[in-house]
Amino acid sequence: MSTALIVERSPAGGGRVAGRINVDNAGAALEQGKALVVDGQVDRVDVAELHSADSVTLAVLLAWAAHARRNGGSLAFLHASSRLRAIAHLSDAEALLGLDMAG
C-alpha cells in the first residue's frame, strides 16, 4: 500500500486522491486540493484510494470543499471508506463533504 500522496485530475473530469494525508503533508495536500478545484471544473473527487481517515484528513477535505463553495462551486467525495464516513458523521460533516451516508 503506497503512502505517497497523489492529488490529480482524473481522465473522466473529476479528481482522484490516493495515499495518505497526514500532519507532515497536510499543508501540501491543502494547496494541491485547492488547485484541483479552483476553476470549478472538478466537482467530485474519488477518495477510494485514500488510505487515511482521521481528523487531519477530514480537515483537509473540508477545506477543499469550502474552497470550492467560496469559488461558486461544490465538491463531493466519492467512494469514501467506512472509517472516513464514520468520522464525518461524528463531526456532522457528511453533507459538507457531499457524502451519501446510505451508500
- Which CATH fold topology does 6-90 show? Transcription Regulator spoIIAA (3.30.750)
pLDDT tier at 100 (50, 70, 90 boundaries)?
Answer: low
β-bridge mates for residue 49, sequence order: 18
Q: Do residues 16 and 8 make contact, with C-beta atoms less than 8 angstroms apart?
A: yes
Question: Per residue in 13-60, pLDDT tens?
Answer: 799 999 999 999 999 999 999 999 887 778 999 999 999 999 999 999
Nine cell digits for residue 99: 457524502
pLDDT of residue 81 exceeding 50: yes
Nine cell digits for residue 29: 495536500
Q: Which amino acid, 53?
A: A
Read off the pTM: 0.90
Rg over alpha carbons for the chain, rounded to the nearest Å, is 12
Q: Do residues 53 and 83 make contact, with C-beta atoms less than 8 angstroms apart?
A: yes
